[in-house]
Amino acid sequence: MAEFPYPLYFEARYLTDKEKVNVSRYFQKTRASGGGDCGGIEKVGDNVYKVCFKEQEVQERVLQRKTHTISFRGGTVHLTVTQSSSPQTQDQPSTSQSQTTTKLSTKGFEKTFRTDIFLLYYMRDNPKAYKKLQKQLSAIGCTIQLDFEEEEAVVRGNIEKGPGGAFDGTAENWELQVHRTFINVIEAYTCHHVLEPKQVKKVLQDPFFVSDDVRVYSESGYAVVVGETYVVKDKIAVLEKSITIRKEQPVVEKRFKMIEEEFNREMSASCPEVKISRASNIIILEGPEDKVQLGEAKLNALIKKIQEKRVNLSNDLLDFMATSSVIYKYQTRFEQSLRSPVSLEVGSELVLSSLSSDALREAEMAVLRDLNESSVTLQGAAAVAPDLDTLKEILNRAKSEENRGELRVNFSFLPGSSGTSSSRVKLVGYTEHVNKLKELIYSFQANQVSTQEVISLQYPELVDCFDKILGILGMKQTDVTLKASSFPNPCVLLSGPRSRVQETKQALGSTLASMTMDKLVLDGPGALQYFQGAGKESKELVETSCQVIIREQQVVSSPTVATKQQRLSSITPRPSTPRKQFTTVGQNEMKINLEIKIGSLEKEQVNVLVVPTHGRQLSSTNIGKSLLKKGGDTVKSKFDSLAANSAYLPGDVLQVNASASLGCSKIFCIECLAWDGVGGKSEQDLAKGLKRCLDLCAEKGFSSVAIPVIGPGLLLKYPLSEAVQILKESIRQFALSDQCGNLTTIHIVIKPGYPDSEESYHEVYKHLSSIMNQRGKALFGSLTSDLDDINLTVGGGVKLQLVFGDITNETTDVVVNTTDFVNFYNEGVCKDILTVAGSVVEAQLKTAKVSRGNVFVTPPGLFPCKAILHVCGEKDASLVETLVPSIIDYCESLGFSSVAIPAICAGAGGLDPAVVAGAILRGIQTATSSGPFYSLTSIRLVLIKINVFLAFKEEATQMFPTSGRKCNRTFFTNSFLLVCLL
């Protein structure tokens, strides 16, 4: 520093800022240190400090004294100054309050002690102390003289007059003895420099600090207290306690409120002398210096313990919080209910502060629960005048009512998506009051705004007989107008209040979808004449009793018609299409019912189990091993005995009596060969064995049989499609034989948990569906499955469907995609959906910034829906449970009527299917229990894995009451239009 160019260095323990100031003041006092103008104390090494002087003369004067004694609150410090910044080495002599020089003469010695001037004053002014020193020196033949000008004490002695030759005639012994005597006396006293102005004034004015043993000396700007060490320390301690200091600590009022209780408790325990007061964003501490500093440290430590949590809210919610009394109400509420106070600050985001992480978490949940931002889409007439103007008046009146006394809710109108005639109402405020206004909007749209909907009819013929259909249904006249039309496609036009239209559409649509049509061809010239004449009454009786409509129709036979009918009868629903139970009637009523069972063959409760064997060993296949495990040694010994006493060639069947542990009477074992190609001997033998098993059931009067899909696997190595084709054809040929005996039930058993289990199910269902009608007659009574759709009723009039299938086949308004927003092409729902939706949707996902628990919305791209909702469950069931209500609320607020949701996190997410099922179904229950829904009518849970579907099925049937009826499809081959309501 150019202003102070002459440095000196000294070693010291760590000096506080306060102690540095005291040292600097000391070196500014000429009488105390020999110093003068100097800068502040700077730390230049671990324990090395520097002080710089303005003039070289002052530097040299301080250096002459070399050792300086400075008194602090914690004790006295001796500083040795040098011109080098190198630390003092271990072999340097230690210093005391005095420096000494020795002079020798032929007869005597003289030793000079450079001593603190104030200690010399004390010896002069305190006869008792001075006489004690003189007495000690006299004992060794010495005298002392105090030199105030030179600030030194001079001790003289004569060797010849020394008592008893005490010095042994050597200068070294004399000097050592004198030094010890002088220092022992001098070091019993302390010179304490008082530098604080308030303390200086107190010392100089209060007679307490002056006594026979203590003297106080005044210098320009400071005072020095001198006396015996222990006495001076006691008086300085009293001084420091008697002088208070004031410390102002800037602290934001809200932050101090969080720590106020704990801070006051700690101060009461350790610093009761300190007075605490407050000003605007300032905490004032007044009291003894050490206690004030301790209090300041405690305050800062508590402030550092404050934790923050930032909550990402929309700008509209933040504005509402800033303009309403929300912040005050929450802080008051949290102060009373939470273990630790929570502060709320609103800026670009909501910042929660507290000493407790648990309190922060509870506060965040309360805010997210209590405050709400929602949008409701206005469509059709509600989005334009005059209905829009009417709605604004209704909302303004309701808002005024809700906001009496304070702001609780607000709303604004926003334009809808470009290219549409819709608009949106945005609602912001307390959830309770937002929901009230939402209810008003929904009610207005439902009951005061007219709308139109269309139901497509499956068959053109339904248009002409639509009035008769309504008569069969018993539909009463309502405020909804129904009009059947053939243009542009067969449909029913519904018009009226929106809610009534939606209710009617849902009820009528599901009923119309459950109706079927077929034709019965009656050859011969008298058929039509009969039903128009004598048979008319009988036909009408059938219509009335069976709830069908029969219409005569002339049929012209042609190869084209026959081909078309054959093609229609073989259509198979795609996997995610609702599985309908097939029921058939015909000229000869059939009794065989086909059931696809998901489980293990050995657990089936039927008359007969069909089991494959290979190499004449029952344990050669996994099916056989499982059967033996349950059936025990009894089954094995019976099989082995029969196999040993018969040829049992490929295609042959052994009839084995079952053991009591199995739920059947007989086991039919088919000897099989490994697959040798399409049409090969292995396929012929398998077909032969299956035919024999079915024929035996008929011959022996059995009513039920369970058959696995024989062939796929590591042993026999059949392609799945070939194995199912052989099974289907065997069942078909058996049914066509009309020699079925008492057999009424055939179970096709598929074991879950294998990589091809889902594919097996779809393949079996497709093949069996294709043979329900054959050769102009119905072959089977029904086709059902353990994986048929489950139809349930939930709150708000919403229908919940559990569907076993592929979500990419869905045509709902909204489809939900589950993703981590990073890995888009790992196997799972996300990859499947993006493959259909295309690159535009994928590009939007790659740039998305989605907070935890939020829903990200994109257009559908090429996916056949209106919007795709993307969510991330983060492998957290509780998060999944909170996402589902958000999905449902979004669909309802934007006017979507249906949504397809996958099993979020049950696939690639790795969560247990039962856990996911519980979370999603609880989320649906929570979301639909709040009130009626005016837009959303259908929630489809689309589950692609068998084990996931079964887990959801078990959870759902326990949580919700079942409703609705399974739809039976009735088949006729006839020349009459036959519409059946089942």
Q: Which CATH architecture is the domain 245-305 placed in?
A: 2-Layer Sandwich (3.30)
pLDDT higher than threshold 50 for residue 40:
yes
Given a cut of 50, is residue 89 above it in pLDDT?
A: no
pLDDT digits (tens, 9 = 90+) for 736-784: 888 888 899 999 999 998 888 999 999 999 999 888 876 656 778 888 9
H or E, element range at 412: strand 409-415
pLDDT at 551 over 90: no
Quick one: which of 305, 260, 303, 258 has its CA closest to 278? 260
Please, are residues 496 and 511 in contact by the beta-carbon 8 Å criterion?
no
pLDDT band at 608 (very low <50, low <70, confident <90, very high): very high
∠ Cα 435 403 398 (to 5°): 55
The better pLDDT of the pair 558, 900 is held by 900
DSSP string, 48-95: EEEEEESSHHHHHHHHHH-EEEEEETTEEEEEEEESS-SPPPTTSPP-
Pick the CATH number of 790-959 from 3.40.190.10, 3.40.220.10, 3.30.720.210, 3.30.360.10: 3.40.220.10
Q: Which fold has domain 450-511?
A: Ribosomal Protein S8; Chain: A, domain 1 (3.30.1370)
> Is 70 exceeded by the pLDDT of residue 790?
yes
State how far the Cα of 561 lies from the Cα of 844, in Å rounded to an integer.
Answer: 49
pTM: 0.50
pLDDT of residue 255: 78
pLDDT exceeds cutoff 90 at 675: yes
Task: Read off the pLDDT of residues 803-823 as tens digits, 9 standing for 90 and up.
Answer: 999 999 999 999 999 988 888
Fold: same for 6-82 and 245-305: yes
Mean of the per-residue pLDDT values for the chain?
A: 82
Which amino acid is residue 555, in one-letter code?
V
Following CA atoms 450, 456, 460, 464 in sequence, which dihedral angle do they give, to the nearest 10 degrees?
-30
Q: How many Å apart are CA 438 and CA 850, to the nearest integer? A: 26
Round to whole Å and give the CA distance between 780 and 773: 8
Q: For residues 63 and 41, what is the distance between their CA atoms, to the nearest angstrom?
A: 16
Statement: residue 647 has pLDDT above 50: yes
Confidence of residue 107 (pLDDT cuts 50, 70, 90): low
Strands 142-147 and 481-485, sheet pairing: unpaired
Determine the pLDDT at residue 571. 24
Angle, helices 946-959 vs 757-769, to 10°: value is: 80
Q: Within 10 A of 166 (CB to CB), how many other CB atoms are there?
A: 15
pLDDT higher than threshold 50 for residue 972: no
CATH no., domain 593-785: 3.40.220.10
Of the listed ranges 127-131, 597-601, 712-716, 906-910, the least confidently predicted one is: 906-910
Q: How far apart are CA 707 and CA 974, in angstroms?
A: 33
Task: State the pLDDT at residue 903.
Answer: 93
Q: Is the pLDDT of residue 421 over 70?
A: no
Q: Looking at residue 209, what is its pLDDT?
A: 84
CA neighbor of 782 nearest in space, from 590, 509, 503: 590
Query: How many residues are recorded in the chain?
Result: 982
Residue pLDDT, tens place only, 913-937: 999 999 999 999 988 887 678 888 8
Q: Say how far apart CA 952 and CA 110 lie, in whole Å.
A: 109
Which CATH number describes the domain made up of 6-82?
3.30.70
Quick check: 81 and 69 in contact, CB under 8 A?
Answer: no
Q: Where are the domains of the chain?
A: 6-82, 245-305, 450-511, 593-785, 790-959
**Please, which pLDDT band fits residue 967 given cuts at 50, 70 and 90?**
very low
**Does 156 score more than 80 pLDDT?**
yes
Distance (Å, whole) CA 869 – CA 848: 12
SS3 34: coil
Give alpha helix (H) positions in 245-356: 253-270, 289-304, 315-323, 326-337
386 prior amide bond cis, ω within 30: yes
Lowest mean pLDDT among 419-433, 871-885, 901-915: 419-433
Name residue 374's beta-bridge partners: 427
Confidence (pLDDT) at 245 = 76
The pLDDT of residue 250 is 84
Q: Which amino acid is at 424?
A: R
When mean pLDDT is compared across 34-38, 78-82, 744-748, 930-934, the lowest value belongs to 930-934
Q: How confident is the model at residue 640 (pLDDT cuts 50, 70, 90)?
A: very high
Distance between CA atoms of residues 326 and 320, nearest Å: 8
CB count in 10 Å sphere of residue 577: 14
Residue 177 has pLDDT above 90, yes or no: no
- In contact, 599 and 768? CB cutoff 8 Å: no
Instruction: Judge whether 227 and 190 are in contact, CB under 8 Å.
Output: yes
Instruction: Give me the mean pLDDT over the 317-332 stretch.
Output: 87
User: Is the pLDDT at 97 greater than 70, yes or no?
Assistant: no
The CB-based long-range contact list for 127-133 (8 Å cut-off, 24+ gap) reads 128/212, 128/213, 129/189, 129/213, 132/185, 133/182, 133/185, 133/186
The pLDDT of residue 749 is 96
Alpha carbon distance 445, 433 (integer Å): 19
Alpha-carbon Rg for the chain, nearest whole angstrom, is 51
Higher local confidence (pLDDT), 174 or 845: 845
Residue 488: is the preceding peptide bond cis (ω within 30°)?
yes
| Strand order across the 898-901 sheet | 790-793, 799-804, 938-943, 898-901, 814-818, 867-871, 856-858
State which amino acid sits at residue 106. T
Percent of the chain beyond pLDDT 70? 86
What confidence score (pLDDT) does residue 561 get? 36
Q: What is the pLDDT of residues 367-403, one digit of tens each?
A: 888 888 888 888 777 888 888 888 899 999 999 999 9
Cβ–Cβ < 8 Å for 792, 962: yes
- For a pLDDT cut of 90, what percent of the chain falls above it? 26
